[in-house]
């Protein structure tokens, strides 16, 4: 889906939501100055519950970020084309996801939040402790994080019984 998206701005938005597990509201509110590329960290300012938190950035995102922000030092990373100085809307982000699914020939329904859910699920499937995932997602309760888990059948099949 990400690879099928040619527009750099759109690809960067998808990469940020999936690669860092951001809510759509957090991604569209991202400002260039909130990224610490050297430390590979993004500061989510006033996330849900008005809490700040840090999330990690992937190398692929950083490479694209550097290209995209070549002549931009501050302001919204995903600035609206219609309203200068304002971020794109969540509806625009939803449309980007919808269009990217079509370009990638993915028939399955997905939304912006699906990228966040996939982030959490893939981390846990790859062995990341759920308490770290909880922190990255900005959840107060581990129970909230557990609702994001949708382990694949192949992951379940690979679990070895203690009896064996």
Active site residues: 23, 48, 113, 116, 139, 148
- Residue 76's contacts (CB-CB under 8 Å, 6 or more residues apart) are 28, 29, 30, 31, 32, 85, 86, 87
Quick check: 109 pLDDT over 80?
yes
Of 30-34, 114-118, 146-150, highest mean pLDDT? 30-34
pLDDT tens per residue across span 50-59: 678 899 999 9
Quick check: 112 pLDDT over 60?
yes
Query: CA-CA distance, 115 to 110, in Å (whole number)?
Result: 8
Query: Which CATH code for domain 8-156?
Result: 1.10.443.10
SS3 120: helix
What is the value of pTM for the model shown? 0.84
* Spans of all domains in the chain: 8-156
């Amino acid at each position: 889906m990400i690879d099928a998206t040619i527009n750099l701005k759109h690809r960067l938005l998808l990469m940020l939501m999936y690669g860092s597990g951001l809510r759509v509201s957090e991604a569209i509110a991202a400002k260039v100055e909130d990224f610490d590329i050297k430390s590979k960290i993004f500061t989510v300012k006033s996330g849900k519950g008005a809490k700040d938190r840090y999330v990690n950035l992937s190398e692929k995102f950083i490479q694209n970020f550097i290209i995209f922000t070549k002549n931009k030092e501050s302001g919204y990373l995903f600035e609206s084309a219609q309203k200068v100085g304002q971020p794109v809307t969540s509806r625009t982000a939803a449309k980007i996801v919808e269009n990217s699914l079509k370009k990638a020939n993915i028939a399955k329904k997905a939304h912006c939040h699906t990228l966040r859910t996939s982030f959490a699920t893939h981390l846990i499937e790859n062995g990341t402790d759920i308490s770290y995932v909880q922190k990255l997602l900005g959840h107060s309760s581990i129970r909230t994080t557990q609702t994001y888990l949708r382990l694949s059948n192949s992951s379940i099949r690979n679990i070895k019984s203690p009896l064996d």
